[in-house]
């Protein structure tokens, strides 16, 4: 993997993980929206680059997982400028796609087992969130216990993707 692509991928994942988590703790709606917009944009770029990397490596199902994840992130990005309540439809669709993408990235035995387990846990929790919203539950991106406690598993997954990218040739 070319060094500048590695740098861009890692930067996007770091921005996604740190600013995404930071946004969950921010009280100001506008600052949260800004943090999540940067987070989402970084993750879309990073997962798109990961998709290209794994297509080139012949890992099509893994690449597809990153494409589906990027689409989910893009759907969510459309809702970040509004209020938490207004973002719920995009959030529900995005978490469904996150879940599918995370499952697809965890099936091939490419990443370390701890990364795959974290991805499966995150995928399962986000699937529950999405299903609950589509079934009428009153859930926002900050609702506790879910999705609030699903985010750390997602960030652990990003950490694994960062390690894998850093080691890539």
Per-residue pLDDT tens digits for 31-88 = 999 999 999 999 999 999 999 999 999 999 999 999 999 999 999 999 998 889 999 9
| Helix H or strand E encompassing 52 | helix 29-56
Angstrom distance (rounded) from CA 40 to CA 42: 5
pLDDT at 169: 84
Looking at the structure of the chain, the number of domains it has is: 1
The whole-number average pLDDT for the span 11-16 is: 98
Angstrom distance (rounded) from CA 84 to CA 135: 18
Cβ partners under 8 Å of residue 107, min gap 6: 61, 62, 65
pLDDT at 1: 81
Contact 35, 21 (CB under 8 A): no
Angstrom distance (rounded) from CA 6 to CA 13: 11
Note down the domain range covering 16: 3-167
pTM equals 0.96
For residue 155, is pLDDT > 90?
A: yes
pLDDT at 71: 98
Cβ partners under 8 Å of residue 97, min gap 6: 68, 69, 71, 72, 75
In tens, the pLDDT along 108-154 reads: 999 999 999 999 999 999 999 999 999 999 999 999 999 999 999 99
The whole-number average pLDDT for the span 85-94 is: 96
């Amino acid at each position: 993997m070319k060094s500048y692509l590695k740098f861009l991928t890692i930067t996007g994942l770091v921005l996604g993980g740190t600013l995404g988590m930071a946004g969950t703790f921010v009280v100001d709606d506008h600052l949260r929206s800004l943090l999540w917009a940067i987070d989402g944009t970084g993750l879309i770029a990073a997962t798109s680059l990961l998709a290209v990397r794994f297509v080139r490596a012949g890992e099509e199902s893994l690449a597809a997982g990153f494409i589906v994840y990027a689409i989910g992130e893009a759907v969510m990005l459309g809702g970040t400028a509004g209020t938490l309540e207004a973002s719920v439809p995009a959030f529900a669709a995005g978490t469904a796609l996150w879940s599918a993408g995370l499952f697809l990235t965890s099936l091939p035995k490419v990443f370390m087992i701890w990364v795959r387990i974290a991805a499966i846990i995150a995928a399962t929790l986000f699937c529950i969130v999405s299903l609950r919203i589509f079934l009428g539950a009153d859930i926002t991106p900050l609702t506790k216990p879910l999705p609030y406690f699903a985010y750390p598993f997602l960030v652990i997954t990003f950490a694994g993707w960062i390690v894998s990218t850093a080691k890539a040739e």
